[in-house]
Structure 1
């Protein structure tokens, strides 16, 4: 028996050649996007212990250099308390949300606040910024700002050191954490943390 999604796909394919072509094009784009996101997650997740991800909040173990002695982005040292700081800023910016997973939304998720979900527009935007430049967004519980504080080299990669700062809308209390965006060997930008 065919699943409902397969029946819908068959109906679209049978409708018109143009509809079928559009459907297949969208399907291919979706598959490519998922493959790219999976590849980025694999590159960005520090690996140690025989290929298993390291414990959250721990600096990754140094890995051997990649092809031609080039470092991997997984070699970039992360702050030991990174997980705790991210959670604290997320909790600080949390708001109740009926249509959000878990019933909570987070204003600290800059990609969402800037409406740059999907693709790499967010990373490109940060990569093009100079020291002292900021991106700002309005939130429900807290307004956000991402500011480039330094251009630096980390493990052979050109990087942008940033600070995420959240400011409560009502009380003006603040919370912040550091972040890092680096340019990969292909010239694209990626958020390291």
Structure 2
């Protein structure tokens, strides 16, 4: 995560310079838009390095099909879901940032140090939830309490930082 924080800290002066620019040309507006998207992309993808938590509902579906959600990486989601639906896709589960990316992004833009950015990134939480559960969550004004308010119970990843070294296929269910 330190590399992500360093990248943000280096990019922030450029972001603010672009935001304060009076240049309203198409190329300047396009640059600001793409720069903004690239910075948000960093948050989304740093979340794929965090041990995923999982909802009880998602865990039940996954385990019945021989999938260990606590070991499943976002890149393997399509293959894993083929075990459930018979087709590759992202139709069953959502790899959701529990605190929306937009909220983390706003915090990072206000950060006064690289360490503060690192803390924001290190404390992010992601969870595997079902598509149905995702529909019950507010998309932008969401807090960590929103999950319990929506009746979604989230379980902590028992593997901690070793989660990526585990196989997501439960062999006894193959």
Q: TM-score surpassing 0.5?
A: no
Higher strand share: 1
User: Which structure is larger by alpha-carbon Rg, 1 or 2?
Assistant: 1
TM-score computed with the length of structure 2 as normaliser: 0.30
TM-score computed with the length of structure 1 as normaliser: 0.27
